[in-house]
Chain A
Amino acid sequence: MSLPDGLRNTSQAKNWVDSLPLSYKYSAGVSGQRFAEGLKQGKILGSKCSKCGETFLPPSLYCPNCFVYSSEYVEIPPYGEIYSFAEADGKAIALIRFQGVTGGLIHVVKRPSAGKLKIGLRVSAVFRPAEQRKGDLTDIEFFEIRPHT
């Protein structure tokens, strides 16, 4: 289209700069709330579906396979295995899976004093002292490599 008198060339086309500030307060959800309470007590909770028999982590109000209400929350022993890991911001971040459980947790892994990180290494959760726990994933300070037995 032609430009009006006064606009001699397209480099005078304008833009408008502004911002949209947004603030959020997310609720944990019904199962998220139980998970948070479990962490505060030093436990990792998953959910179990009595229809297909699978256990899920993080826990879910409903079974993702069967689409029915989960039957119960179960405590998952805090020992897992590195499924995959990556370096980010100077830290080692891993996806940790747990035996007999579908899903897993993303968390920081403490680098071993000797040797390198490898997929398949066994790890265990190190919780902060009870009085420092807030009810979120940082209640686990990190996962550390389990010594060979």
Chain B
Amino acid sequence: MRRVAVVGAGMTLFRHRMLETGKEMAFEASRMALDQAGLDIKDVDSVVLGSAPDAFDGVHMKGEYLLDGAGGTRKPYTRVFVGGGTGVFVPIAAWWQVASGVADIVLVVGEEKMSPLLPHPQYAFWSIFDPILERPLGVTLLWIFSLEMRRYMHVYNVSEEDIALVAVKNKRNALDHPAAQLAANITVDDVLKSEPICWPVKRLDVSPTSDGAAAVVLASEDIARRITDDPVWITGVGWNVDSTYWTNRDLCYPEYLEKAANMAYRMAHISDPKKEIDFAEVYDPFDYKELHHMEGLQLARRGEAPKLTREGVTQRDGDLPINPSGGLLGVGNPIAAAGMMKIAEVFWQLRGEAGKRQVKKPVRRGLAQAWGDLMQVGTVVIMER
């Protein structure tokens, strides 16, 4: 297997609604990534694109629709989709093309345009529930997250205040992110007083829906060394999917994420992630998810993530910075692009290019993780300098 490096990254603003079509957003992010890598579209051997349900944009065969905006015309082109896990799965699907020797340079794009669906993008998720056994109950997407949050809180005795600390941290971190949609200086009290949507989920516990795109360029080792003095190596990848029988699982712990993480740790020769991972971008569409995922990633023992947060360990100047970008809570959540934003952030942090977001400690190894579908997908990428 060949070594694979990330050699460039780019992204658009993340906003609730953008004028750009999906193709245009994909282009804007891709062009920026290619420019950072000093490459022309002719140099790209293959393109992999990730984007979530076609229902958001209301276009059929969304992958094919986005093709020319992602530079994929008349190239080997693949669209992948694993719900919210897509943004970290799409670089994995590109990684194996380079690692196997099938391609030397791959453009990786995550794009999402959620704004066209009326009255609210959440509406498309009606179809995530079983049409016979669940939809007739009058379901709403948020039920599944609030049910998971409640279970996690119950089993590990976690309070709403503990969870709110994550929203406060991430929205504040996002003040330094140029793409950020919902950066703000808020307090735990603001979160607790925000209106309950599907209790225990309240308005400030949730990330927004967004339009946006992000892209990276992957290259094989010898090409990476020619393009840049500072390649960032992908040293571990992992992915895992659990069943859609979500009511038969204990939602307090993401077992599938543990398996995905272990797959990546094995590949990267990591035996003690808490010590060997310097910082992580962990999927946070809700504040409780950051805690849930830290534990699945074994960056904290089960039930221990709230304590690390309270103690400031996960702040930018802490021992294990989590979501220095500001995460989905602060930057925004255009589903497939959000995971890619995390990949880009790990890349920029490792190269010391994260500006005011740069974590205090010197970093050599970072992790990006995403999650999705019916609370069943775990995707993990480990990068090193």
Contact = CB atoms under 8 A, between A and B. Distances in A.
Chain A complexes with chain B: yes
Interface of A: 16, 18, 20, 22-33, 61-62, 64, 66-69
Given A27-B19, A27-B115, A62 B132 contact: no
A18 B31 contact: no
A22 B131 contact: no
Contacts of A26: 58, 116
A62 B69 contact: yes
B116 A25 contact: yes
3 closest Cβ contacts across the A-B interface? A29-B21, A67-B41, A24-B58
Contacts of A30: 19-21, 24
Contacts of B28: 61
B27 interface: yes
A32 B21 contact: yes
Interface in B53-73: 55, 58, 68-69, 71, 73
Given A62-B31, A64-B68, 7 more contacts: A23-B117, A24-B116, A26-B58, A29-B19, A62-B27, A64-B73, A67-B27
A28 to B, nearest CB: 8
A24 B118 contact: yes
B140 to A, nearest CB: 14
Contacts of A22: 55, 58, 117, 123-124
A23 B68 contact: no
Interface in B66-107: 68-69, 71, 73
B210 interface: no
Contact of B127 (A20, A32, A62): A20
A62 B24 contact: yes
Interface in B1-57: 17-21, 23-24, 27-28, 30-31, 34, 40-41, 55
Contacts of B68: 64
11 contacts: A22-B55, A23-B118, A23-B119, A24-B117, A26-B116, A27-B17, A27-B19, A29-B20, A61-B20, A61-B27, A67-B34
A16 B131 contact: yes
Contacts of B132: 16
Contacts of A24: 58, 116-118
A24 B123 CA distance: 11
Contacts of A29: 19-21, 23-24
Contacts of A18: 131, 135-136
B126 interface: yes
